[in-house]
């Protein structure tokens, strides 16, 4: 691993920890994603954060995800994350389940293996964090009961 890759891995670990220290399971390989998705029961809900090193992930996406997943009365059964640009195969595999235009950061909400809600980067970047949080709250309230 060269110096740049080492630096990016160290930097990304801090960003990954912001989610994993708040109950998100990090899926870091394609097999992790496939195994996780294949084991889901039809009535389970899974909140997926596609993480990123960009500013809107740091200032908006991760804080909103953590706050709503912890504070909303209605919560998903599971919380997972993949890291775009770091865990490339895991991210690609998750995007195959999502079947939307690749976007990071982004959020996906599944019921079983069925995507029921998706919030792409363009609905995160440049918005007020409270508006993003309300979008997540509404999705949880609609699909996680």
d(Cα 42, Cα 137) in Å, to the nearest integer?
21
* Residue 103, Cβ density class (10 Å: 0-12 exposed, 13-18 middle, ≥19 buried): buried
25-26 and 45-51 strand pairing = unpaired
Which one of 27, 37, 48, 56 is the catalytic residue? 56
Q: Which of 89, 131, 95, 130 is nearest to 110 (CA)?
A: 95
Q: Is the sign of the CA dihedral 18, 87, 129, 54 positive or negative?
A: positive
Is residue 56 flagged as an active site residue?
yes
Out of 19, 33, 37, 54, the active site residue is: 54
Run of H or E including 48? strand 45-51
Q: Are 125 and 47 in contact (CB under 8 A)?
A: no
What is the set of active-site residues?
Answer: 54, 56
């Amino acid at each position: 691993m060269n110096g740049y890759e080492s630096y990016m891995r160290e930097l990304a670990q801090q960003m990954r920890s912001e989610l994993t220290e708040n109950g998100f399971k990090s899926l870091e390989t394609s097999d992790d994603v496939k195994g996780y998705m294949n084991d889901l029961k039809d009535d389970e809900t899974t909140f997926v954060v596609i993480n990123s090193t960009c500013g809107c992930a740091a200032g908006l996406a991760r804080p909103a995800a953590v706050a709503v997943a912890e504070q909303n009365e209605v919560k998903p059964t599971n919380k997972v994350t993949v890291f775009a640009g770091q865990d490339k195969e895991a991210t690609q595999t998750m995007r195959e389940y999502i079947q939307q235009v690749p976007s990071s950061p982004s959020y996906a909400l599944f019921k079983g293996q069925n995507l029921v809600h998706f919030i792409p980067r363009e609905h995160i970047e440049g918005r007020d964090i409270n508006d993003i949080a309300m979008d997540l709250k509404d999705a949880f309230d609609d699909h996680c009961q």
